[in-house]
Amino acid sequence: MARIAYLVSSAREIELADGSRHPTGYFAEEAVKPYERFTAAGAEVVVLTPDGRPPFADPYGLEHFFHYPEEDQDFFASVIRTFHHDPDDIRVTLHQTTELDLVAARRIVARLTARGGAPAEGHALVSKAAKIAWQEDRRLGEVMVSEGLDGGLSAGEIQAAVDELDEAARQLAAERKARLDAIPGFLEPVSLASLSDEELARFDAVFTPGGHGPMVDLADNPDVRRLLTVLHGKQAPIASLCHGPAVLLSAPDRADGQWLFDGYRLTCFTDEEEDQTVPGKRGLPWYVDTALKNAGAVFDDGPSAWVSHVVVDRNLITGQNPASTEATADALLKAVSLR
């Protein structure tokens, strides 16, 4: 049975560039999905925090738009593909994917179909409206009504689809938080500082989820340094997601004076993505993307922002953003031969 160190930040706030404090912690989706994947595969998962304090779910990561049901996200992706043929065609932003009601497309098409329309016709209608909404920064429902693309639906019926999606997303966010709260390790984690090097060597891998928390207490931590040194010494998988790769900044230098992961290909939450988040807009003191590049990483980001992207280089596994959660977890399972 593989034994995975599940290293989670216990930070509750981050100091912004202007000196003010902003709530932070771990990102709920990035914490619950890999944990459940690992345990379902038969791994022993030991939750660690730097100081043994229970980790804290970042309130921002519990916003409903980070928890749209997968069937809605998949349908939304099929709509975007009708006009996003190449990464250079359009710019993908968090604003466009969360504030223009575009993810409600599946539920709007369901209402069109219920009126007797063909699903393919509904998809084509919504896709045409979505392209206009994306290009002109307008809400999907307003575009459908004003441009005659509503298929007979009223503005109220379209808004009902949007409201239905938002409610489903809020319920999913609450369910994920409840599942995390029920995990014993998240209630009483093991203190990383309390473990000897010999105990650290008993782990077969480490995984670190994101949220801005890792920037606070995992990026320059002597006990994280010990963990990385021990696991890297036996070439055990070291996996992290989104802001989680900040842990790699705790790695020591090699005998030749270069950073332990100098020359490794890796990814993380990009500066472009960061600038679209609430903390990023308020001003962060530093960026994980830039810091890793400056440390010596060969940075490898996805073809566009907010799409799933995972990089594996030797024993190092990194995922770019929340959309990369499942793929990053599966890459680690494969590395420890549980997939």
If you average pLDDT over residues 184-207, what whole number do you get? 98
Q: How distant, in Å, are the alpha carbons of 17, 125, 198, 305, 325 from that of 62?
A: 23, 32, 37, 20, 15
Q: Which residues pair with 251 in a beta bridge?
A: none
Nearest to 192 by CA among 45, 11, 51: 51
Domain locations in the chain as residue ranges: 3-55+189-335, 65-172
Strands (E), 63-214: 190-191, 205-208
What is the pTM assigned to this prediction? 0.96
Answer whether residue 34 shows pLDDT above 90.
yes
> What digits encode the pLDDT tens for the residues 98-122?
999 999 999 999 999 999 999 999 9
Provide the Cα torsion 181, 206, 269, 98; round to 10°: -30
Output the CATH code of domain 3-55+189-335. Answer: 3.40.50.880
If you average pLDDT over residues 301-323, what whole number do you get? 96
Rounded to an integer, what distance in angstroms lies between the CA atom of residue 334 and that of residue 339? Answer: 5
Match 């420890």 to its residue by tokens. 336
The predicted structure's pLDDT at residue 304: 87
| 115 three-class SS | coil
Strands (E), 107-227: 190-191, 205-208
The predicted structure's pLDDT at residue 1: 86
The predicted structure's pLDDT at residue 262: 98
Q: How distant, in Å, are the alpha carbons of 1, 44, 204, 225 from that of 200?
A: 16, 14, 9, 11
The predicted structure's pLDDT at residue 58: 97
> Angle between the 105-114 and 119-136 helix axes, to the nearest 10 degrees?
140
Average pLDDT, the chain: 96
The predicted structure's pLDDT at residue 339: 64
The predicted structure's pLDDT at residue 232: 98
More reliable by pLDDT, 88 or 315? 315
> What digits encode the pLDDT tens for the residues 8-19?
999 999 999 999
Rounded to an integer, what distance in angstroms lies between the CA atom of residue 48 and that of residue 70? Answer: 29
The DSSP output letter for 8 is: -
Name the token pair of 325: 């959660």
> What digits encode the pLDDT tens for the residues 112-156?
999 999 999 999 999 999 999 999 999 999 999 999 999 999 999
Answer whether residue 88 shows pLDDT above 90.
no
If you average pLDDT over residues 168-195, what whole number do you get? 98
Answer whether residue 87 shows pLDDT above 90.
no
The predicted structure's pLDDT at residue 84: 82
Answer whether residue 334 shows pLDDT above 80.
yes
Name the token pair of 300: 């490898």
Answer whether residue 318 shows pLDDT above 80.
yes
The predicted structure's pLDDT at residue 36: 98
DSSP string, 61-77: GGSGGG---HHHHHHHH
CB 84 within 8 Å of CB 90: yes
pLDDT band at 312 (very low <50, low <70, confident <90, very high): very high
